[in-house]
Amino acid sequence: MRSPQKRWAWGLVGVALLIGGAVLAFQLLGGDDDGTLLDPSPPGSSGSGTVAITFGTALDPATNEVAADARTDRFSESDAFVYSVPVAGTVPDAVYVEVRLAGDVSAAPVQDPVRPQPVTTTNAISFSVTAAALLADFGAGQFRMLIYADPTAEPIAEGTFTLIEPDATPTSSP
Give per-residue pLDDT as tens, 81-115: 999 999 888 889 999 999 999 987 777 899 999 99
Least confidently predicted of 10-14, 92-96, 107-111, 120-124 = 10-14
Indicate if the pLDDT at residue 127 is higher than 80. Answer: yes
Q: What separation in angstroms does the CA of 93 have from each of 50, 83, 123, 147, 148?
A: 18, 17, 12, 13, 12
What is the structure's pLDDT at 13?
54
For Cα atoms 103, 149, 42, give the angle at the middle one, nearest 5 degrees: 55
Backbone angles phi, psi at 172, to 5 degrees: -120, 145
Percent of the chain residues topping a pLDDT of 70: 68
Q: How far apart are CA 85 and CA 59, in angstroms?
A: 11
What is the structure's pLDDT at 88?
82
Nearest residue to 102 (alpha-carbon basis) of 143, 48, 66: 143
Tens-place pLDDT, residues 151-160: 999 999 999 9
What is the structure's pLDDT at 35?
41
Q: How far apart are CA 119 and CA 139, in angstroms?
A: 26
CB 147 within 8 A of CB 160: no
Q: What's CA 80's distance to the chain center, in Å? A: 21
The stretch 140-145 carries a mean pLDDT of: 95
What is the structure's pLDDT at 33?
41
What is the structure's pLDDT at 89?
83
Strands of the sheet containing 80-86, edge to edge, are: 54-56, 80-86, 124-130
Q: What average pLDDT is seen over the chain?
A: 79
CATH for 51-163 (3.60.21, 2.60.40, 3.40.30, 3.30.70) = 2.60.40
Q: Are strands 94-101 and 80-86 parallel, antiparallel or unpaired?
A: unpaired
What is the structure's pLDDT at 16?
52
Least confidently predicted of 15-19, 102-106, 127-131 = 15-19
Residue 105 has a CB neighbour count (10 Å cut-off) of: 8
Q: How far apart are CA 81 and CA 72, in angstroms?
A: 9
Backbone angles phi, psi at 135, to 5 degrees: -60, -40
Q: Where are the domains of the chain?
A: 1-38, 51-163
Indicate if the pLDDT at residue 125 is higher than 60. Answer: yes
Position 46, amino acid: S
